[in-house]
Amino acid sequence: MPQPPNPFYETFVAPYVFDLLSAAVFGPSSLASLRDRVVDQLMLTSEMRVLELGCGSGAVTRRLVATGAQTVAVDRSGAMLRRARRRAPGADFRLADATAFESAQPFQRVLCMFFLHELDSGERTEVLRRVGRLLTRDGFALVVDVADGGGPARSAWRRFVDSFEPPTVREVMAGALLREAVEAGLQVGDCQRPLDGRVQVIPLRVAP
């Protein structure tokens, strides 16, 4: 069964705290560039349907809508969705848990950005299985999440992330998403590690 959302995410201030914390972690300009880069990698056109699971406060949703693609954005926090709707009124927002979301129509693209690290391994694998079921055969997904960094600052980065994220983030930083994607029946493409290795971008397709 999906776990209930953190009560904090239902407070009025949650979307604003989320936005401020995200900018503080990566830097406002670096985060904006990452979001633009991820949306560019989706190669969206106006004929496509794109699904954003865990859309949060809508910062990426707004960029997806701007491509002209039909955008469906899902989050289990009503407070997050209220802010997201103001940011991206052109999207179709759904209040739902990513581990249980279903759609009668498939999507050419699916995006999971910075939320899987909040779930346990079983929940992450279930989300990834659903991603595979929701994708068209010629479509692909991008999973974007926190990574363990690199170089001499790696230990400091890990301690910093540990200070405010749930313990499950350690599994994701250690590479659990790659294993879980394979377990979910997905094919993993060439991964990228932008922002000095602090982020992992994982392309996924339905396995042949």
pLDDT digits (tens, 9 = 90+) for 175-208: 999 999 999 999 999 999 999 999 999 999 998 8
pLDDT value, residue 16: 79
- The answer to which of 38-47, 153-162, 181-190 has the lowest mean pLDDT is 153-162
Listed by start position, the domains of the chain span 7-206
Task: Give residue 117's identity as a one-letter amino acid code.
Answer: H
What tokens appear for 35 in the block? 């979001």
Contact 26, 198 (CB under 8 A): yes
Q: Which of 12-16, 20-24, 140-144, 193-197 has the lowest mean pLDDT?
A: 12-16
Query: Among 53, 56, 76, 60, which residue's Cα sits nearest to residue 14?
Result: 56
Measure the CA–CA gap between 182 and 204, rounded to whole angstroms. Answer: 9
**What 3-state DSSP class applies to 169?**
helix
pLDDT of residue 106: 98
CATH for the stretch 7-206: 3.40.50.150
Q: How far apart are CA 199 and CA 165, in angstroms?
A: 15
In this predicted structure, the answer to whether residue 11 has a pLDDT above a threshold of 80 is no
Task: Tell me what the pLDDT averaged over the chain comes to.
Answer: 93
**Is 186 within 8 Å of 122 (Cβ atoms)?**
no
Residue type, 74: V
Give the whole-angstrom CA distance, residue 13 versus residue 164. 17
User: Would you say residue 10 has pLDDT above 80?
Assistant: no
- Answer whether residue 150 shows pLDDT above 70: yes
**pLDDT mean over 124-135:** 98
CA 196 – CA 208 distance, rounded (Å)? 33
